[in-house]
Amino acid sequence: MSGLEVAGVVLGAFPLIISALEDWREVANVGGFFLRIRKEFKKCLRDVQYHEILYKRNLKALLSPLIHDEAETKRLIDDPGGQGWSDGNLQKQLQGQLQEAYEVYFAIVVEMNETAEELKEELAMGKSDVQAKLKSPEAKNPQRPSTQSKSKAAKIASVKSKWDYESYRVKFSFNEPVRDRLFGKLAECNSRLEKLLSTSFKSPLLQSPTPPENRKDISTLEISLKKAFNKADWLFKALQKAWQCSCQQYHYANLRLEHRTLPETCFEIILMFVAPLSRNTTHWSWKELQCGHQPSCSFGQQLKPPLVLRPALQPTMNNRKAKGKGVVISPNVCPVSTIQLDVSTAPNPTLCQNLGDEQCQQCLGIVGHDGETYHLHPSTKRKQPGENGPLTLDQILSFDYEKKLTRRQRYAIALLLASSVAQLQSTPWLRNGLKKEDVQFFPCEHDDYDDDVLFHEPFISQGFLDPPNDASMSSSNEHNFQSLGILLLELCFGRRLEDHPYRRKLPEETGDAKQAFDLVAALRWSNEVGDEGGEDYASAVKWCFMSGNIADKSWRSEIIKNVIRPLESCQEHFRLTASI
């Protein structure tokens, strides 16, 4: 057979293997032992389907330079036994494309074919055996009187039948290592084939299915995340200085967490006023904003060189030059068009007042820090939660929460959290290790969303009571990623660490002792991640626990390489499965 024909034979082997598995299930159901092999059966079926998907992906990459019609390529792959695989012209094109790599390619697909045949033989049941096992005892002895006692021969036949079924069960259960060895050979062949094709010729289908903005090398992504780090830091400090009011301790900012792969950054925040009823003297409690540089904002174009206006009630100040950084608060409809404040000398409640002004619909003003300015534009994507406050990740992962997240949703959140740690670590937004109680979700305002809660848009909340302490955020423990590892572990399985038997067997404790026991239970639990989430996810979790404290400047590139990239690969698997 030619190399193209062998490729078609391998493709056709996967449905036959799945058919053999279905025979096992039917016999197991008749024999009454399917529940005893269900775990092994499902794992075997998933393995077959997984390797079939990878092989189809390699075939698309192989055929795309030869068949420029995508629909024709799909028809050929959907018909493994069709005449197209015997096309002599197509075979010549394949040899011309691969050139000296053809012999290596041929050896790989022949090895895959031999491995697939071994797997079929391992799972094979003769058709006569299957039909015999599927026949009911009544069909074999239709005229047996119901009142007649069993003869010795009948008892022997019954015992033999039970023994046959038990032998099938034992064979399927005990031969799992054999199947795993064959699946390992398929995985190795698929990997070698993919690498060979990627170095032999370039094809659009050989490229990663990741969107272009995610196909960045580590250094490029590191630059984008570093820029997001600086801008997020400056935004918080700009807001910190803009609260020139006596109720600052009741102000909170919620920052949306995003995987920021592009250099341009616009932040979504929700400002909240949370105070006892006796202290609630403001006209606002919730304001959703888009914060960033807005070249098209007409208000920004109106700004002239700094115009300092002194409010009538402001005390007379000495003419000494004030120390500290200036913050610009620029209301849209208020009489004072531009106010440049010196934070150390001129307290003013303008921002807090503007947030309660319902007439400000386009731009509430501009805040700035270290030369970076942020336009504050109102938004209405979400609605204010009820009395119980926003939904937290801790609540979602608890047993009490009825609407469970899908695996795809959980893994998407995991990527967002890992990327956000790379962006916000050691900024005022994330002063300590990220925990599931810190991650919040808000209901959507509009009806054009499938879910009431936007699970793909988590937030983190931070207050303004205490100014950020730069010394506290540069401690040696700032780059410890164990808390992130626990979060990824919980998202992998969709349950909280404290609910797992590994943790419940240990003392509850508090403080450092609790963290130590949490880590002991998490490390033990992490050994199961590979079977649940795959190698990429398992490697990301392992690195978080084993990396230790990273004090040098390379910590961001390390978390990109060892956590963010593997989690991106998990997202690629979901996209790949959906596209086939």
> How much is the pLDDT for 479?
63
Distance CA(372)–CA(112), nearest Å, equals 58
> How much is the pLDDT for 352?
77
Confidence band for 160, pLDDT divided at 50, 70 and 90: very low
Laid out side by side, the sheet with 365-369 consists of 365-369, 372-378, 286-292, 267-273, 251-256, 459-463, 439-441, 391-392
> How much is the pLDDT for 451?
59
> How much is the pLDDT for 114?
93
> How much is the pLDDT for 411?
95
Encoded amino acid at 526, one letter: S
Lowest mean pLDDT among 11-15, 170-174, 179-183: 170-174
Confidence band for 331, pLDDT divided at 50, 70 and 90: very low
Domains of the chain, earliest start first: 3-140+153-206 (no CATH), 230-309+323-378 (no CATH), 392-579 (1.10.510)
Distance CA(410)–CA(397), nearest Å, equals 10
Q: For 96-122, what is the mean pLDDT?
A: 88
Distance CA(398)–CA(402), nearest Å, equals 9
H helix intervals, 32-151: 34-63, 70-77, 88-98, 102-123, 127-134, 137-140
Q: Is pLDDT at 161 greater than 60 in this prediction? A: no
> How much is the pLDDT for 156?
41
Distance CA(230)–CA(564), nearest Å, equals 19
Helix (H, G, I), strand (E, B) or coil at 77: helix
> How much is the pLDDT for 142?
43
Q: Is residue 25 exposed (0-12), middle (13-18) or buried (19+ Cβ within 10 Å)? A: middle
- Bridge partners of residue 391, in order along the sequence: 441
Q: For 338-344, what is the mean pLDDT?
A: 37
> How much is the pLDDT for 91?
87
Confidence band for 95, pLDDT divided at 50, 70 and 90: confident
> How much is the pLDDT for 214?
45
- Rounded to a whole number of angstroms, the distance between the first and last alpha carbons of the chain is 27
Q: Is pLDDT at 90 greater than 60 in this prediction? A: yes
240, 428 contact by CB (below 8 A): yes
Confidence band for 466, pLDDT divided at 50, 70 and 90: low
SS3 per residue for 445-503: CCCCCCCCECCCCCEEEEECCCCCCCCHHHCCCCCECHHHHHHHHHHHHCCCHHHCHHH
Q: Is residue 193 exposed (0-12), middle (13-18) or buried (19+ Cβ within 10 Å)? A: buried
Confidence band for 197, pLDDT divided at 50, 70 and 90: confident
> How much is the pLDDT for 421?
95
pLDDT digits (tens, 9 = 90+) for 549-580: 565 667 888 899 999 999 999 988 887 766 55
> How much is the pLDDT for 125?
55
pLDDT digits (tens, 9 = 90+) for 30-65: 777 677 777 888 888 888 888 888 898 888 888 888
572, 210 contact by CB (below 8 A): yes
Distance CA(202)–CA(61), nearest Å, equals 9
> How much is the pLDDT for 132?
53
pLDDT digits (tens, 9 = 90+) for 396-419: 999 999 888 999 999 999 999 999
Q: How many CB atoms lie within 10 A of CB 498?
A: 15
> How much is the pLDDT for 415?
96
Confidence band for 521, pLDDT divided at 50, 70 and 90: very high
Alpha-carbon Rg for the chain, nearest whole angstrom, is 32
> How much is the pLDDT for 242?
85
Helix (H, G, I), strand (E, B) or coil at 443: strand
Distance CA(161)–CA(157), nearest Å, equals 6
Confidence band for 159, pLDDT divided at 50, 70 and 90: very low
Q: Is pLDDT at 134 greater than 70 in this prediction? A: no
> How much is the pLDDT for 129?
52
Distance CA(213)–CA(264), nearest Å, equals 12
C-alpha closest to that of 185 among 80, 109, 101: 109
Q: Is pLDDT at 339 greater than 50 in this prediction? A: no
* CA quadruple 518, 521, 523, 525: dihedral sign: negative
pLDDT > 90: percent of the chain? 26
DSSP structure class, residue 321: P
At CA 539, angle to CA 537 and CA 542, rounded to 5? 110
Give the residue with greater pLDDT, 214 vs 577. Answer: 577
Q: Is pLDDT at 226 greater than 80 in this prediction? A: yes
Query: What's the whole-number average pLDDT of the chain?
Result: 76
pLDDT digits (tens, 9 = 90+) for 291-328: 987 766 766 544 443 333 334 344 444 444 334 444 44
pLDDT digits (tens, 9 = 90+) for 239-275: 988 887 777 788 889 999 999 887 777 899 999 888 7
> How much is the pLDDT for 511?
83
Q: Is the pTM of this model over 0.75?
A: no
Q: Find where tokens 């937030």 sit.
A: 459
Q: For 198-225, what is the mean pLDDT?
A: 59
pLDDT digits (tens, 9 = 90+) for 440-455: 999 887 655 555 788 9
The residues near 122 (Cβ < 8 Å, ≥ 6 apart) are 175, 178, 179, 182
Q: Is pLDDT at 162 greater than 90 in this prediction? A: no
169, 33 contact by CB (below 8 A): yes
Distance CA(495)–CA(393), nearest Å, equals 10
Distance CA(431)–CA(449), nearest Å, equals 33
Helix (H, G, I), strand (E, B) or coil at 288: strand
